[in-house]
Amino acid sequence: MFDQYNPLEDKMFQVMDQEGQIVQPQEVLALSDDEIFEAYKFMLYARTADLMSVSYQRQGRLFTLPPNLGQEAIAAAAGKQIGVQDWLVPAFREMGAWLLKGARLSDIFMYWGGYEEGSRFSEAPRFLPSTVPIASQLQHGAGIAYAMKLKKDPGIVFAFVGDGGTSQGDFHEALNFAAVWKAPLITIVQNNQFAISVPVAKQTASKNLAVKALAYGIPGIKVDGNDYLAVYSVVSKAKQYVAQGLGPVLIEALTYRRGAHTTSDDPSLYRSDDEEKLWELKDPLRRLRLYLSGKGLWQESLDHELEEEYRKTIEQEFAIYESQAPYPLENVFQYHYQDMPENLKRQLKEQQRFIKWQEVNQ
């Protein structure tokens, strides 16, 4: 597959077109219609949770967060194939993969709700916390992959980054290291075409992002990131390749961030309604709906039923987050060292003394 879709020729792997028509019948065999139906349901769940998060943020019940709208297929298709023995090294806009790795939605709400505990994900082993600095996590991915190799651990590493992240030195360094080490690392670039306001054309002079792999001597492939079946297939091939000990793979998944960069961003400053409408037609859920309704497996009422059910579950998860006890002062001081050093103990004590003074002097 990697030879057939040489990024130098700017080819993009696709299994179904914009209208849900299969263009590569043999590839679709990888998944049964039941599995595709399940994938659709999961993406709808993830989207519902994401849209509800944005509305909770608007109500002041969560803080700044990065919406996933339009990018759900990548996280869902990759996430489905990240096993218990594999590592997930996230960026911050692949919520579906977090959930599939075992993160509880209530924990995700905790994180965007401003509690550090929301980064712990106790129920999801081999999952680093989300990282805000751009692309630096890829080096951790390379290091984990080296450790997997050295320890003869069967796990492989899935690391995420965005199109903007490919401009950072860290991106280059991480891929180069992993390539030199032939380490089991799959790097997925979610090319949503914008780094906040900066379009990908201003980010790189390369034809595409997958082509960067060639300079590291590793396979790179560009895939239609709004095509669940295509992403699933590419990730599956990458997994096979990496598991053979052949070294890392770079996947560029082309998508479109239909929402804002974060809830603090206003996309109307830098892109047109027409462009947004165009990408609405390429939406990954719409595409699967068209496919499934062609098979008689989807009708309008299904979404309503499912959404109603999902909303209830999501509200329950949100209630768990909202019922957290108030944030204790001690929490600020914890987890900096194995044991708390004197300077921190002193500062904590002084703040406690101040609180007592305040009570007396109020």
Partner 1 sequence: MSVMTMVQSINNALDIALAESQDLVVYGEDVGVEGGVFRVTQGLQKKYGEERVFDTPLAESAIVGAGVGMAAAGLKPIVEIQFSGFVYPAFNQIVSHVSRLRNRSRGKYTVPMVIRMPYGGNIRALEHHSESMEALFSHIPGMTVVIPSTPYDAKGLLLSAIEYGDPVIFMEPKRIYRAIKQEVPEEKYTIPLRKAKVIQTGDHLTVVTYGALVREVLRAAMKAKEKGYSIEIIDLRTISPLDRDTVVDSVKKTGRFLLVNEGPSSFGVGAELMAVVIEDAFLHLEAPPSRLSGYDTVPPLPKGEHHYFHGPERIFYEMEKVLKF
Binding residues vs partner 1 (CB under 8 A)? 63-64, 111, 113-116, 132-134, 136, 164-165, 167-170, 195-198, 202-204, 264-265, 269-270, 327, 329, 331-333, 336, 343-344, 347-348, 351, 354, 357-358
Nearer to partner 1, 183 or 195 (CB): 195
Distance CA 130, CA 111 (A): 9
Nearer to partner 1, 9 or 275 (CB): 275
Q: Are 120 and 324 in contact (CB under 8 A)?
A: no
In angstroms, what is the minimal distance from the CB of 218 to partner 1?
21
In angstroms, what is the minimal distance from the CB of 132 to partner 1?
5
Distance CA 53, CA 322 (A): 13
What's the residue count for the chain? 362
In angstroms, what is the minimal distance from the CB of 362 to partner 1?
9
As given in the structure block, the two tokens for residue 298 are: 């989807």
Nearer to partner 1, 116 or 307 (CB): 116
Q: Which of 104, 126, 261, 289 is catalytic?
A: 261
Nearer to partner 1, 114 or 294 (CB): 114
In angstroms, what is the minimal distance from the CB of 30 to partner 1?
34
Distance CA 108, CA 174 (A): 27
261 a catalytic residue: yes
In angstroms, what is the minimal distance from the CB of 268 to partner 1?
11
Q: Which of 58, 270, 327, 353 is catalytic?
A: 270
Q: Which of 47, 93, 257, 289 is catalytic?
A: 257
In angstroms, what is the minimal distance from the CB of 214 to partner 1?
19
Beta-carbon contacts of residue 86 (< 8 Å; ≥ 6 apart) = 126, 155, 156, 157, 158
Longest dimension (CA), the chain: 77
Distance CA 282, CA 16 (A): 11
In angstroms, what is the minimal distance from the CB of 164 to partner 1?
4
Nearer to partner 1, 111 or 310 (CB): 111
270 a catalytic residue: yes
Nearer to partner 1, 3 or 342 (CB): 342
Nearer to partner 1, 147 or 344 (CB): 344
Q: State the catalytic residues.
A: 257, 261, 270
